Amino acid sequence: DAMVIQNPRYQVTQFGKPVTLSCSQTLNHNVMYWYQQKSSQAPKLLFHYYDKDFNNEADTPDNFQSRRPNTSFCFLDIRSPGLGDAAMYLCATLRPGTLSSYNEQFFGPGTRLTVL
């Protein structure tokens, strides 16, 4: 019954070699997020989509790009990974609020990226 799925769970890449992380959701939520979480640090928002509308955080490096081909899938592309990009990458969706429930973010298990 996984709702937000991230593949792979562990990804190893080489310095400078492009890498793509995947996220899919079975919830049909309009909003999807990508967070970066480095060791012992707080998850940090990189960008989010509202449907196909892309919203980049001001301090997200240009090295990070994203694609959302449809509602279910969202990809994080790191064009030239550096050693400092090694982190856990979290995908999340947002369930909108209704008259009977508040909105809520649902997180995937994360992909741990290692850069050699």
Partner 1 sequence: AQRVTQPEKLLSVFKGAPVELKCNYSYSGSPELFWYVQYSRQRLQLLLRHISRESIKGFTADLNKGETSFHLKKPFAQEEDSAMYYCALRWGKLTFGTGTQLKVEL
Q: 71 or 109: whose CB is closer to partner 1?
A: 109
CA distances from 102 to 12, 52, 97 (A): 37, 23, 4
| Contact partners, residue 2, CB within 8 Å, separation at least 6 | 26
Amino acid at 112: R
| Contact partners, residue 45, CB within 8 Å, separation at least 6 | 33, 34, 35, 57
In the list 50, 67, 104, 116, the residue contacting partner 1 (rule: CB under 8 A) is 104
Binding segment toward partner 1, per CB under 8 A, in 17-25, 64-72, 78-86, 105-113: 105-113
Binding segment toward partner 1, per CB under 8 A, in 43-51, 60-68, 69-77, 78-86: 43-51
In the list 90, 93, 111, 113, the residue contacting partner 1 (rule: CB under 8 A) is 90
| Contact partners, residue 37, CB within 8 Å, separation at least 6 | 43, 44, 87, 88, 89, 90, 110
Q: 29 or 48: whose CB is closer to partner 1?
A: 48
8 to 27, contacts with partner 1 by CB under 8 A? none
Binding residues (CB under 8 A) for partner 1: these are 4, 40-45, 48, 57, 90, 102, 104-110
